[in-house]
Every structure is written in C-alpha cells, then in structure tokens.
Amino acid sequence: MKLQVLFLVLVASAHAVSDHAPEPGPATAHAAKPGPPAPVHPDKDDSPAHAHPAKPSPPAHTQPAQPSPPVVSTSSPTSSAQPSESSPATVLPPPDALDSGNTGANGGKSWSNAFAKAQAVVMQMTIEEMANLTTGTDGLCVGNTGSVPRLNIPSLCLEDGPVGVRGAHGVSQFPAGLTSAATWDRNLIYARSKAMGQEFRDQGVHIPLAPVTGGPLGRSVLNGRAWEGTFADPYACGEASYQAVAGMLNSSVAPVAKHFIAYEQETFRDQYSAFPAPDQAAQLPISSNVDDKTTHEVYLWAFTEAVRAGTSHIMCSYNRINDTHACANAYSLNYLLKTELNFQGSVVSDWGGQWDNVDSARNGLDMGMPGFGYGGFFGSFWGSNMVDMVNNGTITEQVLRDKVIRILTSYYHLGMDINPLPDVGFNALFPLSYFPDRFRNVRKPGTTDLIREIGSSSVTLLKNTGGLPLNNPQRIAVLGNDASDNVLGVNACGSYGSGCDYQNLNGTLTTGGGSGSSFAPYIITPIDALKQRAIETGAEIGAVISQSGSAAETAAISELLRTADATLVFVNRYSAEAVDIPDLSIPEDQDFLIAQAVNYSSNVVLVIHSTGVVDIEKWVENENVTAIVMAYLPGQEAGAGLIPVLYGDISPSGKLPWTWGKSIDDYPPNGIIDDPVFSPEVNFTEGAFIDYRWFDQKNITPRYEFGFGLSYTTFDYSELVIDCTGSSDNTSYMATAEKFAESDGTNSLYDVLFTASAVITNSGNVTGSEVAQLYISIPEEGQPIRMLRGFDKVKDIKAGACATASFAIRRKDVSVWSVVDQQWYVPNGTFTIAVGGSSRNLPLSVTWTP
C-alpha cells in the first residue's frame, strides 16, 4: 500500500511539470485616461487597431461532427450533469456552428498579412510536416513542436510560466499574478508582463505559457493555484488579462491565455490525479457543469478580453465542461472561442489535457502538448496518428491545415521569421537548482525596480490601530522564518517550489508552487531590508526565526520581546498546482508564534505572505495586534518592496482582489468536490454569485470586503458626474463576433456609452494613492446586487490636494446575456452607478437610464 501511495504521489508531482499552462499594452482596456502604448507588431500593414470590427465572413464547412452542446456529452459520456437549478434552460446555437470544419480562421481584424503568409507557407507542406507542427516532441523546453527545416520553420519552444521562465537561471522571479492584481494598477500589470516577456524571448522561448486569464477565476477560496491568476471578478480579471496579453505581445513573444474554461479546482483535475480510480486505470477529470448564462457573464468574460488584446494562443484546461473534455469540446472551442469570440489563434492543450486522437482533432484543439515528449507519460496522440486520420478521411486535410495556419499566424505576425529568437538557454527537463549546465543572464537593470514597485504597490493594510508606520523604533523584534532565508538555499525547493516541507524553515514565501513557480536569482528577505534600514537609523534588530515551539524558543521570544519597541511577526501559507488546500488555517507552528508574540508584546505588527485568504479570526481583534499587512507573493524583491511601506516612505495603496471572509462557511458551498467517484462532477449552482457577489446576495459580513485596503492617509469622494458623450471602440486589437441586440452594423459591443468621473481628495496628512472603484446595479432579475465595472488608481495625491478618477463604461458593461436570443442586450430600467473605495464603501451614487 505504501508503495502504491508513493507511486501516486510521484505521478502527481511529475505532472506538475507542466501546465503548462502557465498561462497589448494596448491602451488601457477602456479607461478614459491614456494607458500603456499600443502594441507594436512587425505585421505593420495589418488593419489598424482603431478600426471598427468587421463582420466575420461565413465559415466554410467541411468535415461534419456531432455537436457538443453545453449539457450533453459528445465524447466519453459519463454520468449525467445537472445544470444550475437557478439558471434558465440552455438554448443551443445551430448544429452547423459546432461543425468540426467551422473554424473560420481568416486573420481577423489585425492579422490579415500574417494569416496570408502562413496560409501560403502551409499550402507547401506535406501532411506529415503539418502533423509535425501540431504535435509536441522532446526538446529543451517543457513543450516543443516539430519543425519544417525546408521552409525555415524551427521547433517552437513553449515554456512556463506566470512568474518568469521556469527552470531557467539568469532570469527574474516576478511577483505573482495575484500580487499584481492587488496593485489595481493597469500600467504595472502591463509593465510586469512586458518585462517578463522580454526575458522569455531572450531565453529563446517563442510561446510563454502565460498569463492566467480567468482559469481559475476564483470560484473557490480553497483553489490551490488561484494565486497564478488575478481577481475573483470577471470584469477586473478581464482588465488584467488584457494588459498582461498586451505586455507579452509588445515583447514579441506569443502569449498563451489559460486555462479555458471553468477550470476551478485542482482536485480530480485529470487522469494523473493521485486518486486511485476504481479500476486502477484512468479516473475521469472533474466535470464543471455550468449553464450558458453563467458561462457568458462570468467565466468567458476575461478570456474575451484576452482575445480582444490579441492573444496568440489559448490553452484548453484539464477539466471536462458539462461532461465533455475541455480539449475536445466542440461547443467551447469551435463555437464559443473560434466563432463567437472570432479567435484567430491556436488552441493548445494543457499537458495531459488531451484524451484522444479523433475528437480533439475534430472539435477545436490545434496543438497537442507535450505530445510524444516525456516518453509519452502524458499520453501520445496525433503525430503519425494525425497523418493516418487525414489519409483515411477521419478528418479532412483542410481541418489539419487550419490548425497549422493558426499556429504559424502569430509566429509571422510577431516577426519571429525576420528576427529569430536565440537558441534556448536552459534545460527545462533537468532544471538544476544550482550550477546549471546552461546559464544565460537576461535580466535587465530596470526590472528589479519594477518588481520592487509592484511589491510596494500591492501591500494591503488590513488593520492599523497605531502600529504603522513604524516611528523609527530603536529595538525591533522579528519573529518567524518567513522573514528570513530558506536554510537550504534560495532555490532549494526546486523549479516547482514543491521540493521542501513548507512547514519547515523555507524562508520568505515569494511564490506559490507547481508549474507556475520559477527560480529566483536571489531573495531580498524582510530581515535583509530591515538590516539595511537599521544601518541608516542606528536601530537594533533581534530575531527568532525558528518555529519549533520548544521551551528554549519560548524563553528566547520572551526575552527578546520584553524590551522591543516594535514586534514584527512574519507568517505564510503556501499552496500549489495539483492540490487544493483543505482549509484556511496557517501552519500550527506559525499560529503558536503569533500567540507567543501577543503574550509578550503590546505592539505586534503581523505580516502575511500567502497564496490567498487565511483564517485570522483568532487574533484579528486582539488589542496587542496593532497592524496586519497582506504582502501576497512579491517575488525576488520581497523585503525591498515591503519595508519602505512599513516605515512610511510609501503609503500603502494595495486593495484586496477578492473577499476575505471570516470562515470557510461564509463562501459558497460546493466549492471543491472531492467525492471518491470515477466520474466526479461539480455543479456551478451559485451561478454568477461568486466572491463579493455571494456575500452581498446572502447579506454576509466579511472580515474585509472585496477592494478593501487602508492607507496612512484618508480620502474623501465627491462630485460624481456622468458624461453621456459616447465614443467608438478603440481598444479591440482583435474584434470579436459577439452578438448584441442594439447592433446596427456600425456600432460595437465595446463602444463607450458614457463616462463617469469623481473627485478624490486627500484629506489626510501624507501623500497617498487611492483605487477608486465603480459598481453598477443592473435592473434585471437574477443579477448580482452590484458588479464592478470600473476602477482607476489615482496616484500620489498630496495632502490636501485632489484628483479626478475616470471610468469609461462600455455597452457590454451594462448588458446581460440572453439565453433565448443568444446575444447581449441592455435591459430597460434605471441603473445605479456607485463609486467608492471598496465594494462596501460606496459614498457616491447616481442613476442612469439607457
């Protein structure tokens, strides 16, 4: 039995090798203020980014396939799925919309030249050569395509991940997506992605497996890898996704938006789960059973923004969707993605997400990864099987040709044929923690400043009764290993971050685990930064970094804290890909550390590095806890970004990207399904009511609401004004084909209908930045009480000064999805527009009528 368990654990661990998914600065997706520069692409003659979306040409139909509707399985049927009890019956698109030949690739709004070039090149290929480009093979990267040397097409390198080039040395460890979200700063999200994209390119990576654009979105607070993503809100996640895709593109690499779609738990995610299936063979992955309205209004939203920004690829997820594998689901891939969203790029499978040859080929998958890499551990599909399927008529040659055109269009669009990438500078299959056999330093001088700025801007002050900012304390006590170094070395936990016991002395938690992790060149710990400050101020620092709970340790803490002016306690909570967390607790040894601190000190500042919400109810209201800070996962510059905020050099301006509940029972039930069955199912019966929407609907008071964060100053809101002067869509780099009731052939779902603005006054004594948030209440039955539809981070407002926050509201932002008509529409009635500093602090409101 032990051997069997060990084998299962090893399989689960080996699988984390990929995902492989990690998943323009176009101008701010639709903010009134100018955003980052528009993407600059080598395909200069393509359609301008500001042109009105053109209607898509009718797609050709070739090889018919059975439709894969949202609730009925078309491949690998398993147990029946029940749609949401509160959702209307799903109305399906016409069957021909699901036809396997209905791919419709034509280059879209901005890729026409690259599409034509790819089409011309692919027409010269043999069936074998085309199959070679759609199938993964062995190589130095976590994913590698075949090549076509006679046509000057190299093997394309695909590599994790969302915080940097995983497995490589000489690169930066960036703050996690979660951390960038906590800044609520579109410019920083864009800059992070652009800098990361440049390091990918310089290491020889054509296709970074990033960013995470809504998969997971954050349906469950227990999700093990939600930290790779951004906000637990469709709109905000969409804004972050747009900027992240834009940044990658402007470094001339081809981003992969992931994981598509409704991928909301790690437990039972795929056939490599550690759960022993009844027949000791393959357990089916979890089926996310979600209705059509929720799909459109919640889970598709952020991916739509990634498509609008011009993402090159989209990764299909491990889970099933309404009982059909996500990577062989004609409805989600051929209809939702390639038809409704008019996505012109390719769909790549997650590593092990492909389950067959035929259905995946017919139903929308374009690139199978890792294919025959890893010795076939993740399944060996396509390759020569693809050749056979074309030759025997199982699929048409046109279907295969379309896949290859989709793969190569972004390659040509980004000028990779004209400006080739360097050879791969690392070995992802054998990523040594130290002294690698390949080393290439690609870090740029300004990147450390950017990482540090993201860290500082994300710091979220949750409680402050006088503990912060630190008032030049002369005796500082520091408790907790999270403040210090990993005793085994900076990268001792491996390229997946999972090679250590995280209840041991592993140092400052700077990133989560799994394929979304990466090596750090160094980590500036909080103690490192405190020491530097002590040199400047003449302070003394004493630290107890062990967490054994021994009598000797308790005595040392007592002695240290007895004469300390301030006590800083550092704790963390780790999570990783492939495993969901069981509860919201922090490790017991750290809980004990906090108990010791409040026993011996009346001025305890608690700093949390975590992948998500943790239970703080035991001590949040303890009067000796004078401040609580959430520092998320800050990357290599951890202490350098944090300490200036603690000392007041920078006023904290981070805000929560999700709701911080008091108990796991505050959140929607049925979040993570772990029933030991062969065909696990999870019904998304909460519909659109996730995170703060659930708390609002159920009238639950959270510990800290969505969008909450304190400052060292205060802000007053006034003069909320609605300007009904509209404007045409100028943010869709690629145009979708979404239907909407108000369409007249010249307008767009993304036209701006009105702009709201409010005056923010700094009524305190120090300079500070404020994230102003706009929520809309839509007059339609079944809609959430309020939904985020705008945010604007107004920076560096001096004491006594004011600034204006602006919010451009698009037609889609005030629309709802009609299941019957299969289109968006603006409801009749009066809308309430509310503005403030968080989802439950909204001092201003006005009404608007279409």
The catalytic residues are 350
Residue with tokens 């399985």, as numbered in its chain: 73
One-letter amino acid for residue 369 of the chain? M
Interatomic CA distance for residues 328 and 330, integer angstroms: 6
Of 38, 172, 195, nearest to 520 (Cα)?
A: 172
- Cα angle vertex 611, ends 605, 612, to 5°? 75
716: β partners: 761
CB-based burial label for 213 (10 Å; 0-12, 13-18, 19+): buried
How far CA 515 is from CA of 350, 572, 801, in Å, comes to: 11, 20, 45
Query: Other C-beta atoms within 10 Å of 394: how many?
Result: 16
- Chain centre distance of CA 743: 32
What burial letters (b/e) apply to 123-156, b meaning 16+ CB within 10 Å? eebebebbbbbbbbbebbbbbbbbbbeeeebbbb
For 48-206, list the strands marked E by DSSP: 143-144, 157-159
Tokens at 699, concatenated: 């009238």
363: β partners: none
Name every residue whose Cβ is closer than 8 Å to that of residue 93 and which is 6 or more positions away in sequence: 335, 339, 822
Interatomic CA distance for residues 209 and 205, integer angstroms: 10
Tokens at 453, concatenated: 């700025």
Tokens at 491, concatenated: 């990268």
Answer yes or no: are the C-beta atoms of 716 and 760 closer than 8 Å.
yes
How far CA 263 is from CA of 179, 320, 352, in Å, comes to: 21, 9, 14
- Chain centre distance of CA 430: 26
Interatomic CA distance for residues 461 and 612, integer angstroms: 15
One-letter amino acid for residue 295 of the chain? T
Query: 370: cis peptide before it, omega within 30°?
Result: yes
What burial letters (b/e) apply to 326-365, b meaning 16+ CB within 10 Å? bbbbbbbbbbbbbbbbbbbbbbbbbbbbbbbbbbbbbbbb
Tokens at 808, concatenated: 């451009």
Answer yes or no: are the C-beta atoms of 565 and 474 closer than 8 Å.
yes
